[in-house]
Amino acid sequence: MNVFASLPVVDDGANARLHSRLVDAAAAEGLLDVAYRTVDTPVGQLLLAATELGLVRVAYAREGHGQVLELLAERISPRILNAPGRLDAAARELDEYFAGTRTEFDLPLDFRLSAGFRRTVLAHLPGIAYGSTASYAAVAQLTGHPKAVRAVGTACATNPLPVVVPCHRVVRSDGTAGGYVGGPEAKLALLSLEAAA
């Protein structure tokens, strides 16, 4: 007797259509609070998540995409679905960035995962021009708290929107790269990409 003969055949196309209908129904009923998808990039697979307000999270694979989704469920809402279509604009802009044809992002952003001084630091990072860098000390000066160099480092390390909010452009005063949520290789790759443009 062949036990596998009695198992139902999985139809990937039907599963995809069913998932798409689920996403559409959840969105129509106001039950989709966080949409997410993953994209492949030269610095690895990135998880993108968005709320109705905008892009709320960009996460490197090394952060653990499952853990990031759990944190989003705790901090924002458990109503999370893989809804790639809601993140088409973000995926397109990231593709353009990595292709060297986009120097700044034009996406609505939801900063609810960052508050206080950390949020203040993030507000200054887009002012660091594409292809340029600024030291942690220089960013601290911009915030009006010149002695808060370590706090600037912490804000960059906890940036919920790396790449899009360019914390990779913040380096040590001696010009060395410093730490980065995506790892030192990713930071150097982003800086090299921008320098080559």
3-state helix, strand, coil in the chain (%, to 5): 50, 15, 35
Amino acid letter, 80: I
What's the CA dihedral at 19, 23, 24, 25 to 10 degrees? 100
Across the beta sheet with 44-50, what order do the strands follow?
A: 55-60, 44-50, 34-41, 80-82
Instruction: Tell me if residue 167 is catalytic.
Output: yes
Hey, what are 176's tokens?
Answer: 């060395």
Q: Are 169 and 125 in contact (CB under 8 A)?
A: yes
CA separation, residue 117 to residues 26, 123, 128, 152, 154 (Å): 35, 10, 18, 8, 10
Catalytic residue among 167, 171, 190, 191: 167
* Residue 112 to residue 75: CA distance in whole angstroms: 9
b vs e for 100-134, b when ≥16 Cβ sit within 10 Å of the residue's Cβ?
eebeebebebbbebbeebbebbbebbeebeeeebb
| Residues paired with residue 81 on neighbouring β-strands, in sequence order | 35
**Residue positions annotated with a catalytic role:** 167
